[in-house]
Amino acid sequence: MRVLAQQKKAILLDKKDWRILQEAVQNVRQPLSRIAQQCQLSRQSVEYRLQQMEKNQLLIGSRAVVNIRALGYSSYHVFLEVRTPEQEKELIKRALAAPFVNALLVYSGKFNLEISLMVKSNEEFLEYYHQLMEGIRVRDELILVLLQTLRNEVLPQRYFPFRKEKGKEENISLLTGKTSGIISGKISAKTVAKTSGKRVKVYLPDETDFKLLFLLSRDARRASNAAKIRTASFLGAVSSGS
């Protein structure tokens, strides 16, 4: 039986905090000076407020959104009901160490674990999955292949408070642009993958490209200096995340 932890008190934000948060969610890599300009605040004030959000764990990180299909990969999501807590811990330990696992979530319900494997084929999935699950007994499992992400927002705009501006009530708009189109430059590839009925050009990255992707996937804001390694033409939009 699992005991759910007591929820922490909600963090109280004023209008300036919400406005800064809006800008950060839209583009976390933009300079603080630009955020300050958009919010009509000083750069020091913006920096302090962002630091407070991080201190209170409202902002817990930021990552680039990478279109893995353009690299020839797919995500296989496995929902598991593991038999014992001991085996669940062992599976979590394995999943955290596995290079092919790109997501690991813990649930309270019928399925207590979700593991996402990033692979290039069904055969590769089966090989990695059997490697991961060796000796692990489960009551039930459900395997799904991610075909398309229709919506993925960190903080939907309806959760932002309304504000009054120039005599009328106005909602603070958030995330009005789509997060697709990550691969925006010229794609030099000979291989074409077929996914969900659509033909997708596969980008062939070199070692430097992978270094950039790795840095951005870990921390999109601090990795802005990674552009000094080389300007990667295939990187387009960058958004914040979970």
Reported as a pLDDT band with limits 50, 70 and 90, residue 66 is confident
Q: Please indicate whether residue 144 or residue 162 has the higher confidence score (pLDDT).
A: 144
Do 200 and 67 form a contact (C-beta atoms < 8 A)? no
CATH code for the part of the protein at 68-145: 3.30.70.920
pLDDT at 14 over 70: yes
Segment 57-71 mean pLDDT: 84
Segment 17-29 mean pLDDT: 87
pLDDT given for residue 195 in this prediction:
42
Distance CA 232, CA 185 (A): 9
Percent of the chain with pLDDT over 70: 66
pLDDT given for residue 183 in this prediction:
31
C-alpha 90, offset from chain centre: 25
Q: What is the pLDDT of residues 120-157, one digit of tens each?
A: 999 999 999 999 999 999 999 999 999 988 888 777 77
Segment 61-83 mean pLDDT: 89
Instruction: Give kind and range of the element (H or E) at residue 55.
Output: helix 43-55
pLDDT given for residue 102 in this prediction:
93
Instruction: Give kind and range of the element (H or E) at residue 141.
Output: strand 138-145
Average pLDDT, the chain: 75
Handedness of CA 80, 84, 85, 87 (dihedral sign): negative
pTM for the whole structure? 0.60
Distance CA 180, CA 6 (A): 37
Distance CA 174, CA 197 (A): 31
Do 132 and 94 form a contact (C-beta atoms < 8 A)? yes
Bridge-partner residues for 183, per DSSP? 235
